[in-house]
Amino acid sequence: MNKKLCIGVLTSGGDAPGMNAAIRAVTRTAIYNGIEVKGIMRGYKGLVFNEIIPFKTENVSNIIQRGGTILKTARCDEFRTPEGRKTAYDNMVAAGINALVVIGGDGSMTGAYQFAREFDVPIAAMPGTIDNDLYGTDTTIGYDTALNTIMDAVDKIRDTATSHERLFFIEVMGRSAGFLALNGAIASGAEAAIIPEMYTEADQLDELISNGMRKSKNSSIVLVAESELTGGAMGLAKRVQEEYPQYDVRVSILGHLQRGGSPTASDRILASRMGEAAVNALLDGQRNVMIGIQNGNLVNVPFSKAIRDDKPIDRSLMNMVKILSI
């Protein structure tokens, strides 16, 4: 049965540190089990435009320490159409691929789920996204590295914030999830985190000011998720200038800096464990599952739950930020 299996592996969506470690683990676990592996370039676009190449163990040598993805990633509007997905399936079959491993975020999972339902393709996926916003897994590949990058950047910004006695709004990624902002604030000792999960419950900026921000400090740092719901760092800075002109405000947007860099040991280990588990899941006859990690244990999460259920934020951590910022 193993010799009949041919796995195609692709990375899709935003790149995340640790994706290469995941590709390496998938490739070598498959080869160890006598399974043929093919790399699909540029995500789903590579399926549609037939960018498929055989992968051997040497293809993944010396990549575990590299950020980004050697398979590249790209948007593919064609894959959003039934005709595009049919072309992708035909190319996959012509290449001899009969199972897929997909590494990516929410959009990648959604595409995999739809593709699997339409063409009955066995797919095992891994959560590769710095946002850490996929349900069913405690953490995602790339999240720990991004968090450490944010912490390092905030540590440096704090030096100038303290020197000039300024209020800094630092914008981090997280369009619909505040995990980076919240845990980045805890790790860097920031005074507050403004996240999209709280936007309907309170005016977070007004609450921040009214709670006496900076009464006992000569500078403050606030981490802000980039979401439209929060207003972003620029929107909040504009509000402060209009409503609280006594504050000297500055903005720093970390942007794609957060996605790059060599993955941490934690992300390399997580990606390696998940890559092996993805291949084993396919060998065991599993299909349409995301490999997650819960309390240190690897689990198989159905696509339907991973993409349809919202991952909750730990509200107690918001209160902890407030307590530790006094």
Q: CA-to-CA distance for 40 and 212, rounded, in angstroms? A: 54
Q: 11 has which bridge partners? A: 103
For residue 254, what are the CA distances in angstroms to 61, 232, 257? 31, 12, 6
Which of 20, 42, 78, 317 lies closest to 186 in space, CA to CA? 317
Q: Give one word for 187, left, alpha or beta, with left for phi > 0 and alpha for psi -120 to 50.
A: alpha
For residue 151, what are the CA distances in angstroms to 11, 56, 157? 26, 37, 10
Q: CA-to-CA distance for 69 and 19, rounded, in angstroms? A: 6
Options 15, 106, 131, 133, the catalytic residue = 131
248 is catalytic: no
Active site residues: 131
